[in-house]
Amino acid sequence: MAVIASTVPEACSRAKRASRELVRAPTAAKDAALRGVAELLRERRDEVLEANAADVEAGREAGLEESLVDRLTLDPARVEAMAAGVLEIVALEDPVGEVIERRTLRSGIELTKLRVPLGVIAIVYEARPNVTVDAAALCLKSGNAAVLRGSSTAERSNAALAAIVAEAAAEAGLPEGTVELVSGGGRQELAELATQEETVDLLIPRGGEGLKAALKAVATVPVIYAAAGNCHVYVHGDADPEMARRIAVNAKVQRPGVCNAAETLLLAAAAAEVLPPIAAELRSAGVELVGDERAREAAPDAEIAPACDEDWDTEYLGLRMAVGVVDSLDEAIEHVNAHGTGHSEAIVTSSEAAADRFAAGVDAACVYVNASTRFTDGFEFGMGAEIGNSTQKLHARGPVGLRELTTTKYVGRGTGQVRE
């Protein structure tokens, strides 16, 4: 069973001890543990769903927003997706020990740059219980110990899932402390986790801007923020109208409560005529539209309410979307860079030159040409799963997968050299 520690330092200390063994764990043992996770997820699906149903019921009684209820909810398909994601990770090459560079120095020393685990990774996340499995599986395969802190709204679900991961790890011979689950607690416990400098090598928060701000105020350990997504779809003047409609609608409504859903639709003035059918379909899907004066004039029957300044900077995570009309590609790029969060941005165009300018000019982790923003996802990128999507300009940007959970080490092999 996963250990719910009485204190955060105890959990982190156990994870630190485990990390010293995990760095040497063979790929076969890590893969065996992951196959065990997938098997147990399928065998105990009903137990997981029962625990999750209790969390969902409690969340609704507490007045949890519907978008958060969606993130919290598991069903048979989502449990199967977790199992499939774990097996995808099994199929991936183990990054630990990968030779990045090898060269001989002037001294004759053969210098090798290797990929190695970070050590102990703490993950703080809200609502989504699938992160328990995704994060633990990625940490395990990359040779890291995981300290998981989910939200109190998913306490039962997280406990059931962490127990499965810990049991599979133990059966594969991996050390105690490979996966640690700490209770949600409050701001004090969060601050305690974010200041475990002796044991935690990296902290990754997955949640809203409130969580991000709380950690920025107190964290003394390194942090990679899985940030919010104020994402845009820009329809260029030469865009195919049907393609624009499909991409804009998919990016907004396929799953509106996630960070790679589009929150703003921008159209070139030359493409404004495609707005009415797009707006009509968005409205029929239940999307509340707000827009600038030119957008409302372009689609007078779409019930587009006036947008305020705040609308352009808001990650709605729900059925609301801002719509604007711009005069040029450069104005679209300027708008995206001014209001976006650097997550995922898309252009719909038939011009390679326009696509290239947009891709080069937009400051974001992921840019799509003639495709929905919804593809920013570790599973879609062939990573098996992800811990989150980073918008920082560090070694990890975009989906955080196996390689993003490693660092490097130089190993020099000599024949007795000393430096004069």
Q: How far is CA 333 from the centre of its chain?
A: 24
The answer to whether the beta carbons of residues 144 and 174 sit under 8 Å apart is no
Q: Residues 295, 205: one domain?
A: no
Tell me: the pLDDT tens digits for 45-93?
Answer: 999 999 999 999 999 999 988 878 988 999 999 999 999 989 999 999 9
Percent of the chain at pLDDT > 70 equals 98
Is it the case that residue 386 has pLDDT exceeding 70? yes
Is residue 331 one of the residues assigned to a domain? yes
Is residue 382 one of the residues assigned to a domain? no
- Decide which of 47 and 379 is more confident: 47
Question: Lowest-pLDDT range, 322-336, 350-364, 366-380, 383-397?
Answer: 383-397
Q: Residues 360, 237: one domain?
A: yes
Q: Which of 33, 133, 123, 129 is nearest to 83 (CA)?
A: 133
Over residues 400-404, the mean pLDDT reads 92
Whole-prediction pTM: 0.85
Q: What is the pLDDT of residue 3?
A: 47
Q: What is the pLDDT of residue 1?
A: 41
Q: What is the pLDDT of residue 339?
A: 97
User: Average pLDDT, whole number, for the chain?
Assistant: 93
Q: Residues 240, 260: one domain?
A: yes
Q: Residues 202, 333: one domain?
A: no
Is residue 279 one of the residues assigned to a domain? yes
Q: What is the pLDDT of residue 43?
A: 98
Q: What is the pLDDT of residue 237?
A: 96
Q: What is the pLDDT of residue 382?
A: 83
Q: Residues 349, 403: one domain?
A: no
Q: What is the pLDDT of residue 160?
A: 97
Q: Residues 65, 210: one domain?
A: yes
Q: What is the pLDDT of residue 185?
A: 65
Q: Residues 36, 155: one domain?
A: yes
Is residue 420 one of the residues assigned to a domain? no
Is residue 178 one of the residues assigned to a domain? yes
Q: Domains in the chain: how many in total?
A: 2
Percent of the chain at pLDDT > 90 equals 81
CB within 8 A of 241, min separation 6: which ones?
274, 277
Q: Which of 325, 323, 362, 327 is nearest to 345 (CA)?
A: 362
Q: What is the pLDDT of residue 307?
A: 97
| Both structure tokens of 71 | 């993130």
Q: How far is CA 56 from the centre of its chain?
A: 22
Q: Residues 275, 176: one domain?
A: no
Q: What is the pLDDT of residue 6?
A: 64
Q: Residues 299, 285: one domain?
A: yes
Q: Residues 140, 9: one domain?
A: yes
Q: Residues 17, 130: one domain?
A: yes
Tell me: the pLDDT tens digits for 187-206?
Answer: 788 899 999 999 999 999 98
Is residue 222 one of the residues assigned to a domain? yes
Distance CA 207, CA 210 (A): 8
CB within 8 A of 6, min separation 6: which ones?
none
Is it the case that residue 385 has pLDDT exceeding 70? yes
For residue 342, give the CATH number of its domain: 3.40.309.10
Range of the domain at 335: 231-375
| Both structure tokens of 158 | 């997280």
Is it the case that residue 335 has pLDDT exceeding 60? yes
CB within 8 A of 327, min separation 6: which ones?
268, 269
Is residue 166 one of the residues assigned to a domain? yes
Q: Residues 120, 69: one domain?
A: yes
Is residue 418 one of the residues assigned to a domain? no
Tell me: the pLDDT tens digits for 206-230?
Answer: 877 788 888 889 999 999 987 679 9
Q: What is the pLDDT of residue 142?
A: 97
Distance CA 69, CA 380 (A): 23
For residue 100, give the CATH number of its domain: 3.40.605.10
